[in-house]
Amino acid sequence: MSKTAMLRARIEPDLKHDAEEILKSIGLSSSQAIGLFYKHVIINRGLPFDLKIPNEITQDAMFDVILKRNLEKYSLEEFKKKFL
């Protein structure tokens, strides 16, 4: 029996690139991240996060990010001072 199995999936190129940049910054490959996701699906006997319809404020914020509008940049220290 093989120690690995092949998984093929189609995904938007920008989504793949952005996710891989984040994964790289935390020291994970795409394969490792997918393996972790699958392990958590098994542990949780479902998705490892809740699927909910976001409220209107959250939806607006999500669309702002997608459309790259109304965005502000903060350093970590600026963010802490303003929001924490």
Q: pLDDT by residue (tens digit) across 23-45?
A: 999 999 999 999 999 999 999 99
In angstroms, the CA 36 to CA 31 distance is 9
Does some domain include residue 41? yes
Considering the domain boundaries, does residue 3 fall inside one?
no
Does residue 17 fall inside a structural domain?
A: yes
Which positions ≥6 away from 20 have C-beta within 8 Å? 30
**48 close to 40: Cβ distance less than 8 angstroms:** yes
* Residue 46 within a domain: yes
pTM: 0.59
Residue 7 lies in a domain: no
Q: Is residue 64 part of a domain?
A: yes
Q: Residue 77 sits in which domain range?
A: 13-83
What is the domain count for the chain? 1
Q: Which of 84, 68, 67 is nearest to 76 (CA)?
A: 84
Q: Distance between alpha carbon 76 and the CA centroid of its chain, in Å?
A: 20
Higher model confidence: residue 36 or residue 51? 36
pLDDT, the chain, mean: 93
Domain membership of residue 8 (yes or no) is no
